[in-house]
Amino acid sequence: MIDLKQLREDPQPARDSQIARGADPNLVDQILQVDEARRAALRDFETKRAEQKAVSKSIGKTPKEERAGVLEKAKALAEEVKTLEAKANTAAEELEKLARSLDNIVLPQVPSGGEDKFEVLRHEGGAPRDFTKEGFTPKDHLELAEGLDAIDMKRGAKVSGSRFYYLKGVGARLELALLTMAMDQAVDAGFTPMMTPTLVTPQIMGGTGFLGEHSDEIYYLPADDLYLTGTSEVALAGYHKDEILDLDEGPRRYMGWSTCYRREAGAAGKDTRGIIRVHQFNKAEMFSYCPPEQAEKEHARLLAWEEQMLAKVELPYRVIDTAAGDLGSSAARKFDCEAWLPTQERWMEVTSTSNCTTFQARRLNIRQRKTDGNVIAATLNGTLATTRWIVAILENHQNADGSINVPQALQPYMGGVSVLEPIQ
């Protein structure tokens, strides 16, 4: 949620942010109008309540012959106070609802526009392989995985429906190897490893900003009033709800390892083959609480850790600065790393890292202890490894016979195996 005090003092950045996102800038002025109405209603309530208290206090000192009139006045004032209090509460509820509909204010460096208006910051990991020069046509990840007996989509669909799957054999080992390597790297960097809940309350899901425009992407269990998380970011953000953190020694960092669930309601017909876009997957997610003034530097660190992992699995990738219109509601800026997908000749997102500034922490009442008064903390998140990486690893490291070269850094996590051989 945005800072109302800051919005009152300077609403233009919020208007500009809405325009950059392709959203309605008039929402900002609506919020300010409702805020003014709320404050006016609160003033009226407090003024009348003070008058009521003064009259009630005077009853005992009032002569007997005048007391009935004073009592009547006190009774009338009590009714007025009750009405004005209800009006102030209604205005506060309306303001809360409206303010929560305003997305985080994007940072000035963020490209304006929709999904295709991102800015490519750089290419890393070398040039993509030219399979034509190597004399063979690359197979897609599913064909390769089926040759390795590593993924079973048919039985996944039989048991759970479309976009579910089994990872088996070397496929299961490959996912576990990736996530374990991510955990080791995170621990070395000072992160606390966490196995997080995958069911959360509406207060936590809403507090992280996931119950807005794309809430239809989330699985909901009405009988329990709980949501299945699409990322451990949600559980990690809620971990310190209503707490005051001491961040004098630097950011507080966690790495969450969890299964993630997404309905993919808006992705019909897109990447339906294989495991690029599925309903269930595993992910290692970095999460950081830090002082607001350090958030941009912390964001750069999270990106660097993501790139460190991508270098370990030897993938060609590019880094993009995501356009404002493609940001989630809680993100003020987001960098994506996209690996090359040879069979589709396109870049595929494998990591993202978002600076959520104080947006989530304000909703969740997470503050930083300061000697001159506590302040709202900043939160950031970033992917360190996920099931989707298997797609890029298989396609980029394949050989003509369908075997897969295991990246050197990953080999110790695969029991020393250097090549995954097709099942004969």
Bind-site residues for ATP:
262-264, 278, 349-352
- Candidates 401, 332, 402; CA nearest to 143 is 402
101 is a catalytic site residue: no
Q: Which amino acid is at 345?
A: E
- Candidates 161, 187, 174, 285; CA nearest to 231 is 285
349 is a catalytic site residue: yes
DSSP string, 262-293: ---TT-TTSS-STTSS-SEEEEEEEEEEE-GG
SS3 content of the chain, % helix, strand, coil (to 5): 45, 20, 35
Residues counted in the chain:
424
CB within 8 Å of 17: residues ≥ 6 apart? 103, 104, 105, 106, 324
* Catalytic residue (choose from 80, 85, 314, 349): 349
354 is a catalytic site residue: no
Distance CA 321, CA 352 (A): 10
Is the distance from CB of 261 to CB of 279 less than 8 angstroms? yes
Start-to-end C-alpha separation, the chain: 56
Is the distance from CB of 126 to CB of 310 less than 8 angstroms? no
Per DSSP, the three-state class of 14 is helix
258 is a catalytic site residue: no
Could you list the residues known to form a binding site for L-serine, using ranges.
Answer: 231-233, 285, 383
* Catalytic residue (choose from 352, 354, 363, 367): 352
Could you list the residues known to form a binding site, using ranges.
Answer: 231-233, 262-264, 278, 285, 349-352, 383
Give me the helices (H) in 101-190, please. 131-134, 141-147, 153-160, 170-188
352 is a catalytic site residue: yes
Distance CA 98, CA 141 (A): 45
Q: How far does Cα 276 stand from its chain's mean position?
A: 19
Is the distance from CB of 363 to CB of 329 less than 8 angstroms? no
**Encoded tokens for 280:** 């269930």
* Catalytic residue (choose from 21, 362, 367, 388): 388
Is the distance from CB of 32 to CB of 8 less than 8 angstroms? yes
Q: Is 343 left (phi over 0), alpha (psi -120 to 50) or beta?
A: alpha
CB within 8 Å of 109: residues ≥ 6 apart? 321, 333
* Catalytic residue (choose from 277, 314, 369, 403): 277
**How large is the C-alpha radius of gyration of the chain?**
27
* Catalytic residue (choose from 262, 301, 333, 367): 262
Active site residues: 262, 277, 349, 352, 388
